Structure 1
């Protein structure tokens, strides 16, 4: 039974792995301090906050938000820690409320990892305070308890930290405010009001499994080195002599979505390693065969005759045996990965799932941005039916180049240029729809440049649903006006962030994340427009402006080397399967397949209509 605490009341904690959930009436900063027996904080390294969001046994959110989840592992805390204070503060200089008194009372819940509530506390009677100690977890006689505190501070973060005995209180408060200000470059204004619901958790940020225009970087620091902070689902018992049955979410992570993300990452690594081992064994067998044949030919006594024939036959038999053994090991590993991929695919949330997944049928507009987004699938020629989801972290650290030029391989013979341009724009719309669908209402805005108006058919789902706020920019004047507006937004937000004056932005600046889709580039672009695109590609992602180009690389070569920086700045993907992604670690060439809506399915239209309805409900 959940204990509903009042100020000063305590409650025992039976478990040591906990989540602390925070819901507030607007964006707040969530943090925690680790104190000794006297409650004093020994130094700045005992404060978890957006600029230093992980400490032993403790992880907090990295930005201001209306909803938070803090992860706590009491057993992993340093031995001299006896008190954990959970802190909430209003972002300084964000243009929002300056006191908790004008917001709805913050709600805090201590839960088990499965979401079951242990204790809750609604922090009432706050007035001019801009910071508050919400809860205290404390150890007494070897047992942990939670106490509802609700102590507010009109002096803000610095006063609260100073009261806890931190000598570097003002420096730490400044570091927290600076980190929050940087984070708010992507969401300077508070989000529109939303109904209270379970938020999606914040999560660490491992690397994305693909790098643009060439090498894939899949160094994954968590799979093999991190101690699981949350228990993964137990695998069903395997039959004697059989490998363990795969379970969705059996990687490290605080939440199921993070565990699924890391599991997909691990599958990618496992496929790369197993294939590399097989290819290495085949190369060794071929090299050994060549050496043995050379040895036979180099000796005149064994160069011809029955002895030579027998030696060559034995060498080829040994080579075939080595390859057969390597293939058997590979097939065993791939069969296990195929079984795991099937289990994981059915468990993926919308942001990670294929468009044909049943999870989209129950789609609801989310309250929090997910940690990653699916762009397609990757596979290797040794087992083409084993597809690994290609997930990239959000917010996008680089834009996308959807290549509408002639593909390589078999696709070159079956897809003509006009069909490829149509598929490229449909791919762009599918990715834009997914980005809109996985962000909270009002947190993402899509713009389109279509100089000749050639993309009307592909853009119909965005326009008809109302998910696209304005018609595509066409003609030289429309292209210039939209690019001017977006470059101005980049400039203004950059200046506001650097000066710590986010609240001084003009009211006409849209502070939501922005995505600019450019169709049929470079047709209709002059030198000034090209330079603006390069500027957006370079500077935009850091302040929430992202670029998606739909273009033929060969057509773009007409501009010469001026476009090389733009090409290198973007992640190249294709509207048809293409083996253009390579990883430098083991030298594999990966075939990429885009994440497209099945032919005849209306799932994209259904999802966009829900997005449009939600925007209308919020008056956006």
Structure 2
């Protein structure tokens, strides 16, 4: 069983030959430092880093990547070494993250090379820091232990090395930066690890098929985000050190620089006496307006979930109380004579109406405030968060960097169906998407003709693909299509006209096999490169952009081998930038039986029509999902794709 450590906690190591796996949402530099019995570093020769990747018993990656595998043999380190410290740092440069608070929390696991991991640690609580001491291995009474440290440094790798007692730390940091610089342009990112924060965000809304995110992960929620996503990006508070029987231990270094909190939200105009506060777009913590809006959407989701839960609880209490008082009135024989029990029953009903009326009044007040906030926030959302009918698309420009999250639709509850909360999922996607074209799984779908429903499902998939293309920088997102019978030609027309498909949709069994083989090979190559720390050794013709595979009419045109490859892509693809967008009716693949159950569970299920399939384990709500709709008669999709295509042509010149 894996021990999940928190900051300051230690754990014995049953093995001395270990693999240390690091997973982060952005490329990071991994290094290891050796220390003597007093924790001192003897010199630069005691630091393993990309320019000096091997020391006795230690081997680290040669470049900055989002995934690292560090090999440690504690029996092979010199006898004078009593401490091995694992460091992580963000590489410097324009357009790269400058602080860990703006990226997914790094996740570190430790285990034997051929066995299950022994301990894991999610390095939370980071904010302005750009370097962190993640773990330390240390000798204690002849045995080795591992401790989760999580000590960050706003001054970067140089400050971190200086703090560990290394002379000329700045020179070493410069050498490291110079070593990783050539490979950064070809570094492949991976989705954020499943951290405690992510699980907390996922608890906001989870789909029966897996996890969305309103994300807000739901981003809020993952409907089955179980995501935003998925994870909200508000900075986590520093964690206290672990407690031991001997009293508290403070592992913070006395020279550690203190970190500043994120800038406060904009000032809210004072409300008039007796009136609710005036809503302001971006009224949340965050380092950018995008981050503030993301966190504000998450807060709106939480507020709607809480106020609705309070209302339903109050109504349930009033109903239960009414039933109890009516039972008492009926159980008294005197109450059945000549209407003697009528006053008691009327009093019980009057009390019930009073309780439910007060609950409804409180709900209406909160819903009115949330509606006012939504009316202010919605027009301020950037393209990645905005609806297709938002004016922001009229001034759309291809972005220079990937946004925090993507809008997959809207979420609402029956108490106020016109109050829609954006469903945001964090980027890059942690899992594929499944647009369910089945008629038996949705009340709204039952009323539609089967052909119409399938067309709507494919339209929904194209709208999602277009939004993904629109929010990624030019050249960083590629779309492939499998349409075995050619039945999706009308829906795919915007993508075809724009020229954003490098190849026509694959048709027939031969086309299906060719596309799946190509993407499977890409996953294999990138996995080997990342695990081997050789991302810069990828073939020069390999497309390092994020890949999206749209699959229509599954399992038509798929043989057993193709089905196996599709399952492989669903499981392994997201970690190396290959994502599925399935348009399928699960009943069509029923002949495969339970073999495909893992495939459906691995995908985030969404629908082409409104459906209340998002289960919220936090307060037990069933959220209704509303798919993104392009306004009738609008050419916004074509206009946006045309700009994306022009930016791609310019990028390729």
TM-score, length basis structure 2: 0.67
8 Å CA contact 1:222–1:252 kept in 2: the answer is no
Aligned to 2:435, which of 402, 410, 416? 402
8 Å CA contact 1:28–1:66 kept in 2: the answer is no
Whole-Å separation in 2 of the counterparts to 1:272 and 1:320:
24
Whole-Å separation in 1 of the counterparts to 2:633 and 2:348:
55
1:184 and 2:187 matched:
yes
**Residue 577 of structure 2: aligned partner:** 544
User: What secondary structure sits across from 1:445 in the alignment?
Assistant: strand
Matched ranges for 1:130-279 at <5 A:
184-186=187-189, 207=201, 210-212=205-207, 213=209, 215-216=223-224, 229-279=262-312
Aligned to 2:519, which of 486, 492, 502? 486
Matched ranges for 1:71-110 at <5 A:
none
Matched ranges for 1:278-293 at <5 A:
278-293=311-326
Equivalent pairs, count: 480
User: What secondary structure sits across from 2:456 in the alignment?
Assistant: helix
Whole-Å separation in 2 of the counterparts to 1:350 and 1:517:
22
8 Å CA contact 1:338–1:386 kept in 2: the answer is yes
* 1:263-318 deviation per Cα after TM superposition (whole angstroms, max 9, x unaligned): 00010011000000000000000111111111111221223433211111111111
* 1:558-616 deviation per Cα after TM superposition (whole angstroms, max 9, x unaligned): 22101100000000000111111111111100000011211100000000001111111
**Residue 558 of structure 2: aligned partner:** 525
1:430 and 2:463 matched:
yes
**Residue 589 of structure 1: aligned partner:** 622
8 Å CA contact 1:375–1:595 kept in 2: the answer is yes
Aligned to 2:98, which of 40, 45, 70? 70
* 1:197-248 deviation per Cα after TM superposition (whole angstroms, max 9, x unaligned): xxxxxxx978466544155458977779759611211112212200101101
**Residue 375 of structure 2: aligned partner:** 342
User: What secondary structure sits across from 1:548 in the alignment?
Assistant: strand
Aligned to 2:453, which of 396, 420, 435? 420
Whole-Å separation in 1 of the counterparts to 2:161 and 2:234:
38
In the TM superposition, what is the alpha-carbon distance from 1:68 to its structure 2 partner? 3.2
**Residue 314 of structure 1: aligned partner:** 347
Cα–Cα, structure 1 residues 315 and 603, in superposed 2: closer, same or farther, change >3 Å? same
**Residue 499 of structure 2: aligned partner:** 466
Cα–Cα, structure 1 residues 65 and 576, in superposed 2: closer, same or farther, change >3 Å? farther
User: What secondary structure sits across from 1:185 in the alignment?
Assistant: coil
User: What secondary structure sits across from 1:585 in the alignment?
Assistant: coil
8 Å CA contact 1:51–1:62 kept in 2: the answer is no
User: What secondary structure sits across from 1:302 in the alignment?
Assistant: helix
8 Å CA contact 1:50–1:63 kept in 2: the answer is no
Whole-Å separation in 2 of the counterparts to 1:475 and 1:616:
30
* 1:133-192 deviation per Cα after TM superposition (whole angstroms, max 9, x unaligned): xxx999xxxxxxxxxxxxxx9xxx99999875559979x969x979x98993338xxxxx
Which blocks of at least 5 consecutive residues in structure 1 are unaligned? 1-26, 32-40, 53-59, 74-83, 88-135, 139-152, 188-203
**Residue 477 of structure 1: aligned partner:** 510
**What is the alpha-carbon root mean square deviation over aligned residues?**
3.9
**Residue 14 of structure 2: aligned partner:** none
Aligned to 2:541, which of 508, 511, 525? 508
8 Å CA contact 2:408–2:464 kept in 1: the answer is yes
User: What secondary structure sits across from 1:307 in the alignment?
Assistant: coil
User: What secondary structure sits across from 1:490 in the alignment?
Assistant: helix
4+ long deviations beyond 6 Å: 27-31, 49-52, 84-87, 157-163, 167-170, 180-183, 218-225
TM-score, length basis structure 1: 0.70
Cα–Cα, structure 1 residues 278 and 223, in superposed 2: closer, same or farther, change >3 Å? farther
1:599 and 2:602 matched:
no
Whole-Å separation in 2 of the counterparts to 1:350 and 1:298:
63
User: What secondary structure sits across from 1:605 in the alignment?
Assistant: helix
8 Å CA contact 2:466–2:637 kept in 1: the answer is yes
Whole-Å separation in 1 of the counterparts to 2:602 and 2:184:
25
Cα–Cα, structure 1 residues 158 and 232, in superposed 2: closer, same or farther, change >3 Å? closer
